[in-house]
Amino acid sequence: MPLAIVTGASAGFGRLFALQLARDGHDLLLVARREDRLHEVAELAKKTAIDAGKPEPRVELVPVDLLSDGAATKVFESAPDADLVINNAGYGHYGPAAEGDRAFQTRMVRLNCELLTDLTLLYARRMLERDVGTVLNIASTTAFQPVPYFAVYAATKAYVLSFSEAIDWELQDVRRQRRGRGRAARGQGPRVIAFCPGYSPTEFQAASSYPESLGVYPMKAEEVVRRALIAVQKGKQAVVPGLGNKLNVVTQRLVPRSFVRATAGRMIRPKLADEG
């Protein structure tokens, strides 16, 4: 059975990725800090697969803080030949960046960008050798614009999108150069795909102190995950799920960036304590 790795599998999208992939006939390696939650997800994933008439999947757990030393290597060495790697673990910080917790925000940059990069590089190299495999990097609609009061988070997701798009092109180019252009069609072989969901109620809002009242074009997490896996299947790059989210991203390109930035900032501006 194909093997999928899901980081951040203890909650939200990651938990649902694990269940859907088990239903689709994958073995799993699940990564997150909360081991008890990972055990629950593993049991549910096995049951989900069996209920769907699939063989019971092998589910391995890696309960680790991805920010601890050697975490990416530990994941890679547990399953170097994974067919699908979903870099999903991440969080945000809502509020004035300059007055917020610096360590919380710089750890976010490390998790959302550095760890994602490390795992992508480890697996992209191996997938090139095997000539197969996909890394799915979870970005966000915030990747397309600066977002005041979500400044560091939006910047991390802009990084995820840019990095994924560029390395994906590189992988295909390297493969085509090595194999000869005639024998290596575009879109085949190893891929790194960014997926850009908008607002979806999960534990993310609590983890990031993001008020639920600010969510626009909400989409159920199940739907987000379903569309992400379709993007993987079809090899589609930088998919933004949902009509509202798509329109939001497309219309931004038609107006000056300074206007987009100010509109986003005004829309989600928190009421500051000294405003009375």
Ligand X SMILES: NC(=O)c1ccc[n+]([C@@H]2O[C@H](COP(=O)([O-])OP(=O)(O)OC[C@H]3O[C@@H](n4cnc5c(N)ncnc54)[C@H](OP(=O)(O)O)[C@@H]3O)[C@@H](O)[C@H]2O)c1
Which residues of the shown chain bind ligand X in the complex (CB under 6 A)?
A: 8-14, 32-34, 37, 65-67, 88-91, 111, 138, 140, 197, 199-200, 202-204, 207
Cβ distance to ligand X smaller for residue 36 or 274:
36
Cβ distance to ligand X smaller for residue 61 or 172:
61
Q: How far is the CB of 53 from ligand X (least distance, A)?
A: 28
Q: How far is the CB of 214 from ligand X (least distance, A)?
A: 11
Which residues have C-beta within 8 Å of that of residue 261, sequence separation ≥ 6? 145, 146, 147, 148
Cβ distance to ligand X smaller for residue 66 or 229:
66
Q: How far is the CB of 87 from ligand X (least distance, A)?
A: 8
Cβ distance to ligand X smaller for residue 93 or 175:
93
Instruction: Find the DSSP H helices in the chain.
Output: 12-23, 35-51, 71-78, 102-109, 116-130, 151-179, 204-208, 221-234, 243-252, 257-268
Q: CA–CA separation, 81 vs 133, rounded Å?
A: 9
Q: Give yes or no for a contact between 100 and 93, defined as CB atoms under 8 angstroms apart.
A: yes
Does an H or E element contain 6, and which? strand 3-7
Cβ distance to ligand X smaller for residue 33 or 126:
33
Q: What is the CA radius of gyration of the chain?
A: 19
Q: How far is the CB of 60 from ligand X (least distance, A)?
A: 15
Q: How far is the CB of 127 from ligand X (least distance, A)?
A: 21
